[in-house]
Amino acid sequence: MDELALIDRLRLIAIDPAARGLDDDVAVIGDLVLTHDMIAEGVHFLESDPPASVGWKLVTVNLSDLAAKGAEPIAALMGFTIGRDSEWDEKFVEGVAAACEAYSLALVGGDTIALPADAPRVFGLTAVGRGGGPVPSRSGGKPGDALWVVGFLGDAAAGLALLKEDAEAEGPLVEAYRRPVPQLAAGKQLAPYAAAMMDISDGLLLDASRLCAASGCGAAIRLDMLPLSRAFIAERGADRRARIAAATGGDDYALLAALDPETDPLGLPLPSGTTIARIGTLSADGPTLSLVSGGSPVPLPKRLGFEH
Amino acid sequence: MDELALIDRLRLIAIDPAARGLDDDVAVIGDLVLTHDMIAEGVHFLESDPPASVGWKLVTVNLSDLAAKGAEPIAALMGFTIGRDSEWDEKFVEGVAAACEAYSLALVGGDTIALPADAPRVFGLTAVGRGGGPVPSRSGGKPGDALWVVGFLGDAAAGLALLKEDAEAEGPLVEAYRRPVPQLAAGKQLAPYAAAMMDISDGLLLDASRLCAASGCGAAIRLDMLPLSRAFIAERGADRRARIAAATGGDDYALLAALDPETDPLGLPLPSGTTIARIGTLSADGPTLSLVSGGSPVPLPKRLGFEH
């Protein structure tokens, strides 16, 4: 039984409407929005990553799921594994605390367990948010909806690539990889207007293909319109190859929203400095993506994103 | 920084009243009660344990926390690590499904991740319940309150001892270890009357000492009154040594409730077949336990229960 078959089996016990068929990143219970993400050493972070950044990331990857549902963070329960290095653990907890404080998230419970010696660290966090109204799913997109991205693409993947070359690398790209910033305020503004919304965590093309599959649409994505940061362009340039890298790298924690074409998100009171870009349009062409650059079609890359 | 110091650090970010100072097993958000427990291979279960029983236990250890708060299970989010053996994973999921179906718990979300090869399995579950009224904490006990236990003590620890001698062992004690039954219906009946309530997961004496510390009370526990099953007595006898083993073994998933002495829980509509026993009284003697057997004091064992 492979992962997909197992998830199909789990779907059979996920019949409650709150589960949204396990197709979404969150569950909805009354006005509460719940999400649970795990991270493992050697898979989602490296032993060499600063422990405070690992703690920060555990919190913010969950908050990014809340952001994509327009939910305000209220509380978290953490599954914490106490490890072989108490200094590491202490710094990890400082990172968790910094993120909780930055986003007014109360740590309200959880569990602390020991792992066998030399086992890779594994952490889990359940974040609870309060929705401000209807909670957008992945599945409400319609042909003709405009696809918008909030936040830059490619920075984190470029930062990780720098770290792989030089573990001491620093700068805004490394920071984007280590300290993602969940788009909570923008998500809250967009949620009432979004036909579908999700966070981009595994790469734009992979996550857009998931939104398309859930919505029963295709999408045409304009590579020229991807939001690229100055740091990304300085490091990688802005040619087609760089744009494909930005669209498939993962770890962005940006938002992908499908909005009625009449809705202009630039008229919303987004936080100052928010980067938002219209990167494409949903189409009726089944659940397929097409890429366009300079008006010409571009073949889809084999790898659409980061498959865990 | 040791585990206790780390938990003290976490307390600093757990200032929300929902956190109950991290002294309780649950968080309370509105009328919802949330708990999160993790289990790890080699710590909470053995590689040789049947995978369906590991899945069952992941669900039921969390439901036992809801039972102790009188909460009705509504939903769960699971942190699932996909492993090196898909047949194992499939049976594990069957055990999760069986427990969810048995207790009307909807699986509504979570996360599935891969672990590095040969890493021990680690699972987490967040269970969400709905409280039926005030949610008893650990800290409301008062001197003079009667201490009641719901369920048998010692069965699971005796079952684990049998399995350590013979991995093929079977019978009710092994079943108690592998398939704990959360006392949901009894917990719901007792909660409105309980000054304090918690589940006994690490051994009666250790968990009673935690209830005492949180309530600022002592407790006198009458070893003669411990609820022992026929299977336990057949295997271990009922002498003082057997009773100490039953009071310190752990994995019971029984309930410990402090009730006003005027309250007679035997008059409540508990499910038929519920075992409930008055095993002692809270005292004003600081946070210390004393044991009595046949009217005479018995020294406290060095080990009060299972410290993870």
> What confidence score (pLDDT) does residue A174 get?
96
Let me know: does A141 contact A196? Beta carbons within 8 Å. yes
Distance from CA of B127 to the nearest CA of A (A): 10
pLDDT of A1 higher than 60: no
The residue in chain B having the minimum alpha-carbon distance to the alpha carbon of residue A81 is B38
pLDDT tier at A140 (50, 70, 90 boundaries)?
Answer: very high
- ipTM confidence: 0.90
> What confidence score (pLDDT) does residue B308 get?
60
Distance CA B285, CA B91 (A): 49
Does residue B85 sit at the A interface (CB-CB below 8 Å)? Answer: no
DSSP 8-state secondary structure symbol assigned to residue B280? E
Domain boundaries A146-298, corresponding CATH code = 3.90.650.10
Tell me the Ramachandran region of residue A29: left when phi exceeds 0, alpha when psi lies from -120 to 50, beta otherwise: beta
H or E stretch covering B3: helix B3-12
Let me know: does B52 contact B45? Beta carbons within 8 Å. no
pLDDT of B2 higher than 70: no
pLDDT tier at B123 (50, 70, 90 boundaries)?
Answer: very high
Let me know: does A33 contact A41? Beta carbons within 8 Å. no
> What confidence score (pLDDT) does residue A291 get?
97
Give the best residue of B13, B39, B112, B199 to mutate against chain A (max A CB count within 10 A).
B13
Q: Does B116 contact A41 at a Cβ distance shorter than 8 Å?
A: yes
Distance from CA of B295 to the nearest CA of A (A): 39
In the Cβ-directed half-sphere of B94, how many Cα atoms lie within 13 Å? 11
pLDDT digits (tens, 9 = 90+) for B280-299: 999 998 778 999 998 899 99
Return the higher-pLDDT residue of A53 and A112.
A53
> What confidence score (pLDDT) does residue B3 get?
66
- Counting Cβ atoms within 10 Å, is residue A300 exposed (0-12), middle (13-18) or buried (19+)? middle
What angle, rounded to 10 degrees, do the helices at A240-248 and A204-215 form? 60
pLDDT tier at A21 (50, 70, 90 boundaries)?
Answer: low
Distance from CA of B83 to the nearest CA of A (A): 10
> What confidence score (pLDDT) does residue B288 get?
87
CATH class (in words) of the domain with range A3-131? alpha beta
pLDDT digits (tens, 9 = 90+) for A70-85: 999 999 999 999 877 8
pLDDT tier at A193 (50, 70, 90 boundaries)?
Answer: very high
Residues of A in contact with B306 (CB under 8 A): none
The mean per-residue pLDDT over the stretch B6-20 comes to: 74
pLDDT mean across residues, chain A: 92
pTM: 0.92
β-pairing verdict for B289-293 and B218-222: parallel
Return the higher-pLDDT residue of A6 and B217.
B217
Matching fold, domains B3-131 and B146-298 = no
Q: Does A87 contact B1 at a Cβ distance shorter than 8 Å?
A: yes
Q: Does A6 contact B89 at a Cβ distance shorter than 8 Å?
A: yes
> Which residue of A10, A41, A89 is in closest CB contact with B107?
A10
Scanning B117-156 for CB atoms below 8 A from A yields 119-120, 122, 124, 126, 128
Cα–chain center distance at B64: 6
pLDDT digits (tens, 9 = 90+) for B238-258: 999 999 999 999 999 999 999
Q: Does A40 contact B113 at a Cβ distance shorter than 8 Å?
A: yes
> What confidence score (pLDDT) does residue B211 get?
96
> What confidence score (pLDDT) does residue A233 get?
98
Q: Any idea where the domains of chain A sit in the sequence?
A: 3-131, 146-298
Distance from CA of B11 to the nearest CA of A (A): 8
